[in-house]
């Protein structure tokens, strides 16, 4: 094999490896979404995210009292103090619907995360 061909083959191999590493790094970056809690209601009450990627949900509690963001389907619970924000991390999800609620006001503080 000529040295030119070896250099070419090596360049292709390194480029292919680099592209794979970039794709993996991008796939590991979380999808960031925001929720606002005001008057014991989530806005928006429906979040859409891509399936198969980690998710970070930032919840901005604009109520004076604390609320617990809870979802058995997402396997998360997080108390968020009044007039504070918190971030909830969620592992990559399969396509589907994942309900969530504010446990302290579950009749009004309700929503769904849809992975597609």
Round to whole Å and give the CA distance between 9 and 104: 61
User: In this predicted model, what pLDDT tens digit does every residue of 88-115 receive, in sequence order?
Assistant: 999 999 999 999 999 999 999 999 999 9
What domains lie within the chain, and their CATH numbers? 30-115 (2.60.40.420)
The pLDDT of residue 24 is above 70:
no
Give me the pLDDT at residue 19, please.
63
Q: What pLDDT, in 10s, does the model give residues 36-84? A: 999 999 999 999 999 999 999 999 999 999 999 999 999 999 999 999 9
What is the three-state SS of 8-34?
A: HHHHHHHHHHHHHHHHHHHHHCCEEEE
Q: Which of 13-17, 33-37, 85-89 is predicted with the least confidence, judged by mean pLDDT?
A: 13-17
| DSSP count for the chain of H helices, then E strands | 1, 9
Provide the pLDDT for residue 85.
98
pLDDT at 5: 75
DSSP at 62: -
């Amino acid at each position: 094999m000529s040295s030119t061909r070896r250099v070419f083959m090596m360049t292709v191999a390194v480029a292919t490896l680099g592209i794979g590493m970039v794709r993996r790094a991008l796939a590991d970056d979380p999808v960031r979404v925001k929720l606002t809690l005001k008057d014991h209601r989530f806005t928006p009450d429906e979040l859409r995210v891509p399936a198969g990627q980690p998710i970070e949900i930032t919840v901005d509690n604009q109520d004076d009292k604390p609320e617990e963001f809870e979802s058995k389907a997402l396997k998360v619970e997080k108390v968020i103090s009044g007039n504070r924000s918190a971030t909830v991390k969620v592992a990559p999800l399969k396509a589907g619907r994942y309900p969530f609620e504010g446990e302290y006001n579950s009749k009004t503080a309700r929503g769904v995360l849809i992975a597609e």
